[in-house]
Amino acid sequence: MRFGKVYLVGAGPGDPGLMTVRGLRLLRHAHVVVYDQLVNPVLLEDVSVHAERIFVGKKAGHHCIAQSEINSGLINYARRGFEVVRLKGGDPFVFGRGGEEAEALADAGIAFEIVPGVSSAVAVPAYAGIPLTHRNYASSFAVVTGHEAVKSKSSIDWAKLATAVDTLVILMGLHNLPAIVAKLVAHGRAPETPVAVIHRGTTEQQQTVIGTLADIVEKSAALKAPALIVVGEVVCLANKLDWFGLDRVEFAKVKSTPSNHLDVS
């Protein structure tokens, strides 16, 4: 029996228009689609009515399906000859456990393909008018997970990040924002350093709160996850470069028009 194939596809950061042409084409021809919590439901409208859809989304503190079960499911469907799209928010290899799933497929002898997606790490700041690098403000940036801020033995060297990297992008860090701020200030980052917290970036629900390390915890207290944090001088450009906020009404209008779907068939 001929095995099928698994495609680890990045769905982008939320705006369905940021889905890649390759990813959309695979989505339309898949036999099985296994998708995550942060995948925009609009993208599922392009899935064949004959395809099986399987939700495996995770929220903080609650996983409806264990990662090992997801891995086994992908392998089993491929062994039955199906073409499987594993649709993951952002990019599969940026804090999406895509590497773990690819390893499991490789170990099982299953053919797979990685289809990169637009990562929220770069797209969300861009939609908030924040360039991660700029000749006058920043020549380097780093992307880290906020989960590491409260671990007793963190894999992140906060001392180096605080002073050696111009722009910090912190994913999944809203709940641990007080600890993150405390670590950065304790290791030498100036309290007046600009900070942005962006909720549901690239979508109609996007909210951006601007502050400094000294006051961002208080200012962003009302925001809910998912949210992304940007720390660095580039944040001071947000108001000047806020193209998305000015274009929000038109964005919502376009997203509600069915005929706007990209045709890549």
Nearest to 49 by CA among 63, 34, 35, 29: 29
Instruction: Respond yes or no: is residue 58 known to be catalytic.
Output: yes
**Annotated catalytic residue, options 36, 88, 91, 183:** 36
User: CA 58 to CA 65: how far, in whole Å?
Assistant: 8
Q: In what order do the strands lie in the sheet with 227-231?
A: 141-145, 167-171, 227-231, 194-199, 207-212
What amino acid is encoded at 51 in this protein? A
User: CA 8 to CA 117: how far, in whole Å?
Assistant: 10
DSSP secondary structure letters along 77-136: HHHTT-EEEEEESB-TTSSSSHHHHHHHHHHTT-EEEEE----HHHHHHHHTT--S-BTT
Q: Give the SS3 label for residue 235.
A: helix
The length of the chain, given as a count of residues: 265
Instruction: Respond yes or no: is residue 166 known to be catalytic.
Output: no
Query: Do residues 56 and 32 lie in contact, with contact meaning Cβ atoms separated by under 8 Å?
Result: no
**Annotated catalytic residue, options 5, 15, 46, 58:** 58
- Name the residues annotated as catalytic: 36, 58
